[in-house]
């Protein structure tokens, strides 16, 4: 271990370093024995797990990745010249100009692709091996008083938003990431475009106002459309603002008004006015397939995260998924993976997009929900056992299974796990929030599935809630409601630069990454629950894998969600197990409160 070890033991939340045996080449027995002392500062060998030490990205398995999910606008502004988006004299892109207000949480803040490129070493050193960007395609800059800084309001599916940079700059970013052996994943949308189409009945004959109370257009069911439908129109001057051109024809949209998120409206309704594409139309299916084939051909990303998959009909995915997967293969991206976002906490519901929809993976909202119940709401660890007991739902006949699920603790819509702890009725103090946030992250790294760090979590970001409140700046922020937050494990605020490689979370996450990369069982192992309980306390899992030389590797990971130390004697499999890692110092035969440890049985 380099100087990392000493940083840990002096940090706010000391991590005890009985460093991963295969990473160190240290004698196994010696590591296990010395690990029984509470805090170790032993000199071990260098930390492994950086992308450059892994298999080449072209060959590397999806299950080997540590993801970092980032909103480029909120990350780092390396090019002030693009802060307003399109140039003032660029009439073709007029709707993609403006929206900058660094004091407003719902406006552009200036971050860009050049900033991401500049900060690649920061991500690399944390053990990030794959970067997932919010959508980067050209947006409508303003809708209903806020801006498209998040990227989900696309006008042009062929070029990069001018606030973020150019197509060339995106290629340069990907090239630089690939040179570090880091993968790049795009966030794509097929469900909707920006809000351009209006309804006469809601917005008047010119489409520019609101005739309806509450500023929403009630959903009109398909069965009644002959008698009761909206008259869709495009306001003057906006008839040709979308690219490719077919997207400007209102016949390719559902035009049934706003979704109320249930029944037919969930698939055919507008997402708060965003034009809902008629994904039931065969020409639209082909058009969307062509759009994203072209994106793959032009930029050669390593995969896609797909937005709002439950708001698109399943038949669409059955055509789209295989077409894109085979196109990526044909482009030489043999390990291309797509994972869908379906906001649901039910494994059976989520799994249908992998099984019927033929997507390789989905974001594991159900795991996020179980982690929140266990660590924020203080439910028993049975909630975790019950969740993992449903993993067989994800078994597909194409080789994809629960090990491909994408694990996260919070996100840009629901907010951060630290924010949820802050708002909890349990009134957690800072140390409790630190311990619980770190344990939540240990659960996403060391349970089956692929971990995602939500940008800023590694700097102790908290946030007042979800959506705009959870999209703080890494660069110095001027948003008052961000800057009044008490960040975890640091005296800094979001008004400061927060690319702090000495933040204890940054260092601990890099340690997690090193452990993850050192142990095949933690990335590929089949998971079985050994112990859970109806109250906060122990949750113990076993991960079993056949490594390449045919030898089985098994590891046991024990988590303690209680504030009190727990005796391990009831876990029979741990009787003669050797300790590989523990996040806190332990008394013999115990696991400290809000900590975890990894053992070799």
Indicate the residue among 197 and 371 with the shorter CB distance to Ca ion.
Answer: 197
Indicate the residue among 253 and 512 with the shorter CB distance to Ca ion.
Answer: 253
Q: How near is the Cβ of 189 to Ca ion at its closest, in Å?
A: 10
Indicate the residue among 65 and 276 with the shorter CB distance to Ca ion.
Answer: 276
CA–CA separation, 87 and 371 (whole Å): 46
Indicate the residue among 49 and 273 with the shorter CB distance to Ca ion.
Answer: 273
Asked whether the bond before 440 is cis by omega within 30 degrees of 0, the reply is no
What token pair was written down for 556?
Answer: 């046991």
CA 417, 420, 426, 432 torsion: positive or negative? Answer: positive
**What is the DSSP-derived secondary structure letter of residue 457?**
G
CB atoms within 10 A of CB 467: 14
Q: 556 pairs with which residues across the strands? A: 542, 599
Q: How near is the Cβ of 520 to Ca ion at its closest, in Å?
A: 40
Indicate the residue among 4 and 107 with the shorter CB distance to Ca ion.
Answer: 107
- DSSP per-residue letters across 518-562: H-HHHHH-EEEEEE--SSSSEEEEEEEEE-TTS-EEEEEEEEE-S
Residue in 529, 516, 535, 526 with CA at minimum distance from that of residue 598: 516
CA 525, 531, 534, 538 torsion: positive or negative? Answer: negative
Q: How near is the Cβ of 89 to Ca ion at its closest, in Å?
A: 19
CB atoms within 10 A of CB 308: 19
- DSSP per-residue letters across 34-91: HTTSSS-----------GGGSS-TTT--GGG--EEEE-GGGT----GGGTTBS-TT-G
Q: How near is the Cβ of 198 to Ca ion at its closest, in Å?
A: 6
Q: How near is the Cβ of 422 to Ca ion at its closest, in Å?
A: 9
Residue in 451, 393, 382 with CA at minimum distance from that of residue 417: 451
CA–CA separation, 302 and 329 (whole Å): 11
Q: How far is CA 310 from CA 272, 342, 368, 495, in A?
A: 16, 5, 18, 37
Q: Which stretches of the chain bind Ca ion, using CB under 5 A?
A: 77, 79, 82-83, 110, 112, 191, 195, 197, 273, 275-276, 311, 464, 481, 484-485
* Known active-site residue 307: yes
3-state secondary structure 167-200: HHHHHHHHHHHHHCCCEEEEEECCCECCCCCEEH
- DSSP helix/strand/coil, 506: helix
Sheet holding 595-600, edge to edge: 526-531, 538-546, 552-560, 595-600, 578-582
Q: How near is the Cβ of 408 to Ca ion at its closest, in Å?
A: 22
Q: Which of 73, 112, 302, 341 is catalytic?
A: 341
Q: Which of 307, 401, 435, 511 is catalytic?
A: 307
Indicate the residue among 73 and 401 with the shorter CB distance to Ca ion.
Answer: 73
Rg, Å, the chain Cα set? 24
Indicate the residue among 235 and 369 with the shorter CB distance to Ca ion.
Answer: 235
Indicate the residue among 54 and 120 with the shorter CB distance to Ca ion.
Answer: 120
Q: How near is the Cβ of 399 to Ca ion at its closest, in Å?
A: 29
* Known active-site residue 195: no
Q: How near is the Cβ of 265 to Ca ion at its closest, in Å?
A: 9
Show which residues are catalytic: 307, 341
């Amino acid at each position: 271990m380099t100087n990392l070890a000493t940083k840990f033991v002096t940090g706010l939340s000391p991590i005890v370093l009985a460093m991963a045996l295969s990473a160190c080449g240290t004698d196994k027995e010696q590591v296990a024995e010395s690990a029984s002392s509470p805090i170790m500062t032993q000199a071990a060998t260098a930390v492994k797990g950086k992308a450059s030490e892994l298999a080449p990205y072209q060959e590397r398995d999806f299950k080997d990745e540590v993801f970092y999910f980032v909103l480029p606008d909120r990350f780092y502004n390396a090019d002030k010249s693009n802060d307003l988006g399109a140039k003032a004299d660029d009439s073709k892109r007029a709707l993609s100009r403006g929206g900058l207000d660094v004091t407003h949480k719902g406006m552009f803040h200036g971050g860009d692709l050049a900033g991401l490129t500049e900060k690649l070493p920061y991500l690399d050193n944390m053990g990030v091996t794959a970067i997932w960007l919010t959508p980067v395609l050209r947006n409508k800059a303003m809708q209903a008083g806020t801006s498209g800084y998040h990227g989900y309001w696309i006008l042009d599916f062929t070029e990069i938003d001018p606030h973020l940079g150019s197509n060339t700059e995106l290629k340069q970013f990907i090239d630089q990431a690939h040179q570090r052996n880091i993968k790049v994943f795009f966030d794509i949308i097929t469900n909707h475009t920006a809000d351009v189409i209006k309804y006469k009945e809601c917005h008047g004959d010119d489409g520019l106002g609101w005739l309806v109370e509450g500023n929403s257009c009630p959903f009109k069911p398909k069965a009644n459309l002959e008698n009761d439908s909206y008259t869709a129109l495009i306001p003057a001057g906006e008839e040709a603002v979308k690219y490719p051109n077919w997207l400007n024809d209102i016949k390719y949209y559902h035009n049934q008004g706003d979704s109320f998120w249930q029944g037919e409206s969930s698939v055919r309704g507008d997402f708060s006015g965003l034009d809902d594409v008629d994904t039931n139309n065969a020409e639209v299916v082909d058009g969307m397939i062509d759009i994203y084939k072209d994106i793959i051909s032009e930029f050669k990303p390593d995969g896609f995260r797909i937005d709002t998959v439950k708001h698109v009909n399943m038949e669409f995915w059955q055509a789209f998924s295989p077409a894109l997967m085979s196109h990526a293969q044909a482009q030489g991206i043999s390990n291309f993976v797509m994972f869908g976002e379906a906001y649901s906490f039910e494994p059976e519901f989520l799994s249908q997009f992998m099984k019927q929809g033929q997507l390789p993976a989905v974001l594991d909202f159900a795991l996020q929900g179980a982690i929140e119940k266990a660590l924020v709401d203080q439910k028993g660890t049975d909630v975790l056992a019950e969740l993992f007991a449903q993993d067989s739902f994800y078994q597909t006949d194409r080789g994809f299974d629960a090990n491909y699920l994408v694990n996260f603790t919070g996100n840009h819509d629901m907010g951060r796990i630290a924010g949820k702890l802050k708002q909890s009725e349990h009134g957690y103090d800072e140390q409790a929030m630190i311990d619980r946030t770190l344990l939540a992250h240990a659960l996403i790294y060391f349970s089956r599935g692929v971990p995602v760090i939500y940008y800023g979590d590694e700097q102790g970001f908290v946030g007042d809630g979800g959506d705009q409140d959870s999209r703080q700046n890494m660069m110095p922020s001027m948003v008052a409601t961000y800057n009044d937050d008490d960040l975890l494990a640091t005296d800094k605020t979001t008004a400061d630069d927060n690319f702090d490689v000495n933040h204890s979370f940054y260092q601990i996450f890099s340690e997690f990454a090193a452990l993850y990369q050192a142990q095949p069982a933690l990335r590929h192992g089949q998971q079985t629950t050994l112990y859970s309980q109806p109250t906060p306390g122990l949750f113990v899992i076993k991960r079993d894998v056949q490594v390449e030389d045919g030898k089985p590797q098994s590891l046991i990971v024990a988590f303690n969600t209680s504030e009190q130390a727990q005796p391990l004697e009831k876990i029979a499999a741990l009787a003669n197990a050797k300790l590989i890692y523990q996040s806190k110092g332990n008394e013999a035969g115990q696991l400290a409160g809000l900590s975890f440890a990894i053992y070799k049985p």
